[in-house]
Structure formats: structure tokens, C-alpha cells
Structure 1
Amino acid sequence: MSCWDTFHAYALRSLGQGERLLPRADISVCDQTVLIGSGLIWNIYFAVLALFFGFFLATGLAMAKNSRTRWLRKPAEWFIFVFRGSPLFIQFFLAYEAFVLLPKAEIDFHLFGMEFSASTRWLTRAWLGATIVLLLNTSAYAAEIFYGALRSVPKGDLEAADAYGLTGWHRFRRIVWPTMMRLGWPAYTNEAIFLFHATTLVFFSGFPAWKQMGDALYYASYFADKTFNPFIPYPIVAGYFIVMTLLIIALFGIVNKRLNRHLPTDRRRRMRLRLNLIR
């Protein structure tokens, strides 16, 4: 089988399309590269959804933790403490066990005149259950980042907002939130990178790969077991993740540039890729 035939057969194997049987003998580097790249689709899926919805939840948690109201502040503090204080691997395992123990009940609801049916059994599937865990985990870390940035908003900006008569929502939207994002965005970029790397734990924890449709590390582990040579599949995974990390840095760098567009050139906080030779 040529490399093109391998790509045609296994490029979307992680989504259930293409050849049903994974290669078992005469496994080539092309087979490993294509299948591991196919599994990367799941890593991207987990990271994108968790980051998108987690961003809004983290913003709300940061505001709640900064609130003077105790019944808002304390739940946010405990949520952040629990998810930052416990290992992500354990969170995956406990969440899966909890979802399995849930009664298999279906809930019918109507939305825009259409009837939908939701079942708890879907929570045991990685595409939903693992996404929820990642969303909650990254929300806790990002909330702490945004909370620190919120506490670092210059008093001069707040006094200027008061002088212009900005209060409530307008003050938050025009002054507080943009400054909070500008201060916390470099650290939030690191959180996005860490979250993308953490997606490799999904199928290594309690969530099973349904019909051998797993992520990049799942296929790398499969090839390592079949070929007894982990020095080919795992470096391929590392190469894919390095490329995706550079892409995340580039995309978040564009946002960072947008957030700092009003500042003089010498005061803008630029994001640079720095290689640590010694740690």
C-alpha cells in the first residue's frame, strides 16, 4: 500500500471513516504518521471546545471571586481550589465513574418549537464527558489568571471611568474587561497550550475509545505495542504537538496584538517563543 493509499484509507479513521481494521503487520512510518495525525483531530476538538466555553466560564468565575458578596465569592473560590488542586487524570477517572453510575434517563425538552431528547448515557462518551471535564479544569486555571489580572487593573483606569460617569456593565465592558484581558492574555496563552497537551489524557484515563476511534496518543500507544518500538510513534506525536503549539502561539499572538493596539510600540507586551535550554 502506497503512502497515498494509506492516507486515503486512514486519514479520517479516528472519526470512523475509512478502513475499519488498523494495520497489524508490516507497519510503516507512513501508516503511523497518517493514523496519529488522524487522531489529532480529537485533540483539536477537545481543546477548541474546552477553550471556547471555558473562556466565558472563567470570566464569570473571576468576577465572582472578586465579588464582595459571600454567596458568589465562596463557591467560585472552592470551585477553583478543587479543580486546580486535584490531578486532571483523577478528574477524568472520577467523572467517568460518576457518569456511568447516573441512571440512564432521557430528558425531553422543546427549543424553538422543536422537540429534543437528551440522555445521560452520552456523558460516558469521550466527545461529551471528557469535554466537560476539560472545560471545568481549564476554567479553574483561567479564572485564577483572570482574577489576578482583574486585581491588577490600574486604579487610574478605574478613576478615569468614574470621572466619565461609567458604571456597572458599561464600566466593565469598556474599561475593566479589556484591561483584564490585556494583562492576563500572555498567561492565558500558556494555559491554552497546557490544555491542548492535556487532551492526550482523555483516552488514557477512564474514557474508552469507542470502536478504536481515539486521539493521537491512543494510536501512538497502539503502534508502540504492535511494533515494540516506541521511538517512532511517540516522536511523531511530539512533532504534531510542537506544530500545533506554534499555531496556538501565532493565533493568540494576533489576539494579544489586537488587545495592545492602543499602547505605544515600546509599551506593548509582545509574545515571543523562548527556548529553555536549561530548566
Structure 2
Amino acid sequence: MSCWQTIQDYALRSVGFGERLLPRDDFTLCQQFTLIGSGMIWNIYFGVLALVAGFFLATALALGKGSRNIWLRKPSEWFIFIFRGSPLFVQFFFGYFLFLSLKQSFPIFEPFTAAWLGALVVLFFNTAAYSGEIFYGALRSIPKGDVESADAYGFSGWPRFRKIVWPTMLRLAWPAYTNEAIFLFHATALVFFSGFPAWQQRGDALYYANYFADKTFNPFVPYPILAMYFIILTLIVVGLFGVINARLNRHLPQESRKKIRLRMNVIR
């Protein structure tokens, strides 16, 4: 089988198109690159949707935590504390068994027991909690002079938040938020190890990398391929977020613009 034929058969296998059966012998480098790359579709799916949805919840959590109203502040504080204080790996297991229990009484929760939706919900809550804390810190760091100037110009309530507070919060939080986005995409690899099943062997990139490692007894080929894909994905995320960061800081002098710095999350 040629490499082009392999790509045609397996490039979209993780989403249900192409050859149904996985290779059983004579594992080629092309097969490993293609199938692991196919699995990356799920990692991108989890990362993009969780990041987009989590952005809005994170903004609400930051505002809630900074609110003077105890009924808004305390739920936001506890939500952030619980999801930041417990390991993501444990959250996957608790999420799966919670949805499994709810499915027995409410059949509407059946889709949540599958990885494509249940794991996405867990990632959504997790990244919202971390991002909410980042946004809250940025909210506290907004110079009082900016808010006082907005008041002097007659801005108050929603117009002040939309034109002054929210853009400034994003500008201050964006470098740290970029690192959270990178970690979120890396964390999608944990879905394979969670309790959420991979339906019809349609797993993510780590699922296929682990498959080839088990079949060939050589982890030094599939796992570096997996790492390469995630490095490329990280470079794309850094590039996109860098463009947004430049847009947020376009009004500042060149020497005052904050640059994005990557920081490793050793323990989370």
C-alpha cells in the first residue's frame, strides 16, 4: 500500500470516514503519522470548543469573584477553588461516573457519557476556572486612573465595562491566558486515560500512539510523532494569540507592549 493510499484510508478515520479496521501488521511510518494526525482532530475539537465556551464563563466568574454581592462572589470563589484545587485527571473520572449515574434516571444525559461531549464539559469547566482566576487577577490590576477617567467622561455601568474595563482586563490577562490555552490543548491528551470510552476505536492522537506502541513494542516512534504534532499545534496557538495580543496592545508605545512568554505548568 502506498503512502498516498494510506492517507486516503486513514486521514479521517478518527471521525468515522475511511478504513474502519486498524492496521494489524507491517506498521509503516506513514500509517503512524497519518493515524496519529487523524486523532489530533479530536484534540483540536476538545481544545477549541472548551476554550471558546470557557472564555465567556471565565469572564463571568471573574466578575462574580470581584463582586460585592456575596451571592455572586461565593459561588464563583468555590467554583474556581474546586476545579483549580483538584487534578484534571480526577475530574474526568468524577464527571464520567456522575453522567453515568444521571443517565440511569434521565436518559437525556446518555450523550454525556461519551467522550465527545462528557470530556468536553469537564475540560470546559476546568479551563473556565483557571481562566477565571487569571481574569480576576487582571481585573484587580486595572489602574484606578483608567476607571476614574471613564467616570469623568460619563461612562458608567455596561458602557464603562465594555469600552474600558473589559478591554483593559483582556490586555493585562492575555499573556497568562495564552499559556492556559496551550496547557488546555496539551491536557486534551488525558481524555484517552479518562473513563470516557473511545467509540468504535475513534480515539484521539494519544489513543493511536498508544496503539502503535503496544503493537510494535517500540514507543520511541509513535510518541515522538505525537510530540511533534503537539509542538506544531502549540506554535499555531502562540501565533494566533500573538496576533490578538498585538491587537489588544496596538494603542501602546512599542516599548510598553507586553510580549507573550511561555511558562511550563509542571504541576496542576
Structure-1-length-normalised TM-score: 0.92
Q: 2:223 maps to which residue? A: 234
Q: 1:184 maps to which residue? A: 173
Higher strand share: 1
The equivalent position to 1:197 in structure 2, one of 150, 166, 186, is 186
DSSP-derived class of the 1:26 partner: coil
What are the residue-to-residue correspondences of 1:234-253 with 2, within 5 Å?
A: 234-253=223-242
User: In structure 2, how many angstroms separate the alpha carbons of the residues matched to 1:222 and 1:100?
Assistant: 26
Q: Contact 2:178 / 2:241 at 8 angstroms: preserved in 1? A: yes
Structure 1 residues 202-211 or 186-195, which shifts more? 202-211
Structure 1 residues 143-152 or 201-210, which shifts more? 201-210
User: In structure 2, how many angstroms separate the alpha carbons of the residues matched to 1:135 and 1:121?
Assistant: 18
Tell me: CA distance 1:259–1:97, structure 2 relative to 1, closer, same or farther (3 Å): same
User: In structure 1, how many angstroms separate the alpha carbons of the residues matched to 2:141 and 2:262?
Assistant: 25
DSSP-derived class of the 1:202 partner: helix
Structure 1 residues 147-156 or 15-24, which shifts more? 15-24
Higher helix share: 2
Give the residue type in structure 1 aligned to 2:166. W
The equivalent position to 1:257 in structure 2, one of 238, 246, 258, is 246
What are the residue-to-residue correspondences of 1:1-279 with 2, within 5 Å?
A: 1-104=1-104, 119-271=108-260
Identity, in percent, stands at 69
Post-superposition offset of 1:101 = 1.1
Post-superposition offset of 1:274 = 8.7
Q: Deviations over 1:225-244 (max 9, x none)?
A: 00000000000000000000
Post-superposition offset of 1:270 = 2.1
Post-superposition offset of 1:103 = 3.5
Post-superposition offset of 1:206 = 0.6
Q: Deviations over 1:238-275 (max 9, x none)?
A: 00000000000000000000000111111111225699
Q: Contact 2:135 / 2:169 at 8 angstroms: preserved in 1? A: yes
User: In structure 1, how many angstroms separate the alpha carbons of the residues matched to 2:78 and 2:261?
Assistant: 34
Query: How large is the RMSD of aligned CA atoms in angstroms?
Result: 1.4
Tell me: CA distance 1:243–1:131, structure 2 relative to 1, closer, same or farther (3 Å): same
User: In structure 1, how many angstroms separate the alpha carbons of the residues matched to 2:82 and 2:252?
Assistant: 37
Tell me: CA distance 1:70–1:274, structure 2 relative to 1, closer, same or farther (3 Å): closer
Structure 2: which 5+ runs fail to align? Answer: none
Structure-2-length-normalised TM-score: 0.96
User: In structure 2, how many angstroms separate the alpha carbons of the residues matched to 1:28 and 1:91?
Assistant: 36
Q: Contact 2:134 / 2:177 at 8 angstroms: preserved in 1? A: yes
- What is the number of residues matched between the two proteins? 264
User: In structure 1, how many angstroms separate the alpha carbons of the residues matched to 2:106 and 2:113?
Assistant: 14
Q: Contact 2:10 / 2:38 at 8 angstroms: preserved in 1? A: yes
Tell me: CA distance 1:204–1:9, structure 2 relative to 1, closer, same or farther (3 Å): same
Runs of 4 or more above 6 Å deviation: none
User: In structure 1, how many angstroms separate the alpha carbons of the residues matched to 2:25 and 2:220?
Assistant: 17
User: In structure 2, how many angstroms separate the alpha carbons of the residues matched to 1:61 and 1:132?
Assistant: 16
